[in-house]
Amino acid sequence: MAQAASSLRPDVYHKVTETIIAQIEAGVGTYRMPWHHSGAPLSRPRNAVALTFYRGINVLTLWAAAHAAGYPSGLWATYRQWKQAGGQVRQGERGHLVVFWKQLDHPAKAYTEDEAEQGTKANWRVVARGFWVFNLAQVEGYAPVAMPELSETARNVLAEQFYAALGIQTRFEGGEAFYQPDGDYVQLPPFERFRDGSAFYSILLHEGAHAAGAPHRLNRDLTGRFGSEAYAFEELVAEWASAMACMTLELTPEPRIDHAQYIASWLKLWGAAHNFNNREVAIM
């Protein structure tokens, strides 16, 4: 029987982390990470029944799950939702975990009776619930509605408008792409130096994400030197930000060979965040 929906288990964070770590490890040698999606509308994780897009960590975990299983579609739903839509999850298929957050409508039991009566914010808490979802590729008897795709010109126009709205000073010259904190500007080779619009804008958005971390913007730590944990963390933030923006703009993020230098650090960061400090990672 197919695995149906369930409530959140205590090890949900470990399950999510293991999924992401496995796909980062799988990218060793190819530099293709779980966030390197195709850019097509169907690659954007979306609930097939509610027609809403998944958000936050669910985007990354569903990308990783689809990449690992070779699913061509970004349509997902719970066992019950597929059944309500007229589809049937095939026998033996395994679900993939997504997490939703909900605020409890009663005080947490850990607080005293006096604190509970005061009704302060401290008495309320947010909890996570886990659900198992299945990809369209795991379902029979359901025909999805075709999703129109933007033309390359339309994608480039939208990407240009999106980046311009960030208000970041940008110079198009030279042969390297980088963000310069001292002068607060991004530098990128001219458009014609890139293979296509996706290649150009995915790198531009990556560098723009670094610029977003400046002290007068999001105030991230941009002082890390190459090879440090802080540097690797900032690269991971920029990679994910670029991938999420590319997903919305129907662009394809570019795998970058230089990221081979960061893979071990990324695995260490993901592991440390969820108590995987003792995990041994072999990077060739």
Q: CB–CB of 202/192 below 8 Å?
A: no
Write down the pLDDT at residue 94: 93
**CATH classification code of 152-253:** 1.10.10
* Sequence spans of domains, the chain: 12-140, 152-253
pLDDT of residue 269: 61
- Half-sphere CA count of 114, side-chain side, radius 13 A: 0
pLDDT at position 113:
41
> DSSP string of the chain?
------PPPTTHHHHHHHHHHHHHHHTTTT---TT----SGGGS-EETTT-PBP-THHHHHHHHHHHHHT----EEEEHHHHHHTT-EEPTT---EEEEEEEE-SS--TTS-HHHHHHT-GGG--EEEEEEEEEEGGGEES--PPP-----HHHHHHHHHHHHHTTT--EEE-SS--EEETTTTEEEE--GGGSSSHHHHHHHHHHHHHHHHTSTTTT-----PPTTSHHHHHHHHHHHHHHHHHHHHHT--PPP-GGGGGTHHHHHHHHHHHTT-TT------
pLDDT at 97: 87
Output the pLDDT for position 11.
55
**pLDDT, one tens digit for every residue, the chain (284 residues):** 454 434 444 455 565 556 556 656 665 555 555 555 554 445 789 999 888 999 888 888 888 888 778 888 889 999 999 999 999 999 999 999 888 877 766 554 544 444 333 444 455 566 777 889 999 999 999 988 777 788 889 999 999 999 999 999 999 999 999 999 999 999 999 999 988 888 899 889 999 999 999 999 999 989 887 767 788 788 878 887 888 888 888 887 766 656 555 555 656 665 555 554 443 333 22
